[in-house]
Amino acid sequence: MNLTLKIWRQKNAKTKGKFESFKLNDISPEASFLEMLDILNQHLIDEGKEPVAFDHDCREGICGTCGLYINGRPHGPERGVTTCQLHMRKFKDGDTIVIEPWRAKAFPIVRDLVVDRSAFDLIMQAGGFVSVNTGNAPDANAAPIPKLDADRAFEAAACIGCGACVAACKNASAMLYVSAKVSHLALLPQGKIEAAERVQKMVAKMDELGFGNCTNTYACEFECPKNISVSNIARMNREFLSAKLFAENPSAIDMGD
């Protein structure tokens, strides 16, 4: 395949960026998208030019590092996959591919296609954990958990924190990410003890870091490589409202799930 790549180049968050065009020939349709970028970078290095900076780690769809905005969509044209799982057979010979970094105020550009997503880590540090002493690991069946709750918690826990939801949202909202993290803990007994405190702290941190609000466009769910459902946002809103009401009036009844 012969391709034209239009790639965002930017030295750092303080300098202005611009698109740069590259011609790349003889790319195998079986190559992954990141392998295609590796080949481009090898050419650039051979020519004594600066390679394009892009993030990646596991290349197996697990770590959430490889976020790229490809032809106007987070992680490119295929649904339910990360950039590292995208293959060049999804494009056509002669295509022009536009590659940009995630664009959100809370994700400043580090260089080229690399953004600083430590805002997500700060949200997790605000409450995305279980800190109560739960003792030794109990027998698997000692704490019965309804199958539906276990399934929903597992589905929410599939979030890899890649930031595609933020990049897809016109408001750069992190609600899908935060709600997945809130949900997978709040649905399980180990996470219920701190649930009220957790949701308030994580939402406050999300707002403080400059993420926008949710206006129900569902773009986040559509573009999420792990198919995280927006029903988690509804659950987080219920958790948040319940926690607020309880804080103001401790005799208020927990609204539950």
Residues that bind ligand FES (CB under 6 A): 56-59, 61-66, 82-84
In the complex, the smallest distance separating the C-beta of residue 28 from ligand FES, rounded to whole angstroms, is: 19
Q: Which is nearer to ligand FES, 39 or 63 (CB)?
A: 63
For residues 27 and 81, which CB has a smaller minimum distance to ligand FES in the complex? 81
Whole-number minimum distance, CB 115 to ligand FES, in Å? 14
Cα 239 to Cα 226: distance, rounded to the nearest angstrom: 23
In the complex, minimum distance from the CB of residue 110 to ligand FES, in angstroms, rounded to a whole number: 16
Cα–Cα dist 22/52, whole Å: 11
244 vs 252: CA distance, rounded Å: 10
CA dist 20 → 15, 38, 100, 118, 231 (Å) = 15, 17, 11, 27, 40
* 55 or 155: CB nearest ligand FES: 55
Nearest distance from residue 76's CB to ligand FES, in Å?
A: 12
Nearer to ligand FES, 162 or 219 (CB): 162
What is the residue-wise DSSP string for 121-181? HHHHHHH-S--S---SPPPTTTS---HHHHHHHHHHHT-----HHHHH-TT-B-HHHHHHH
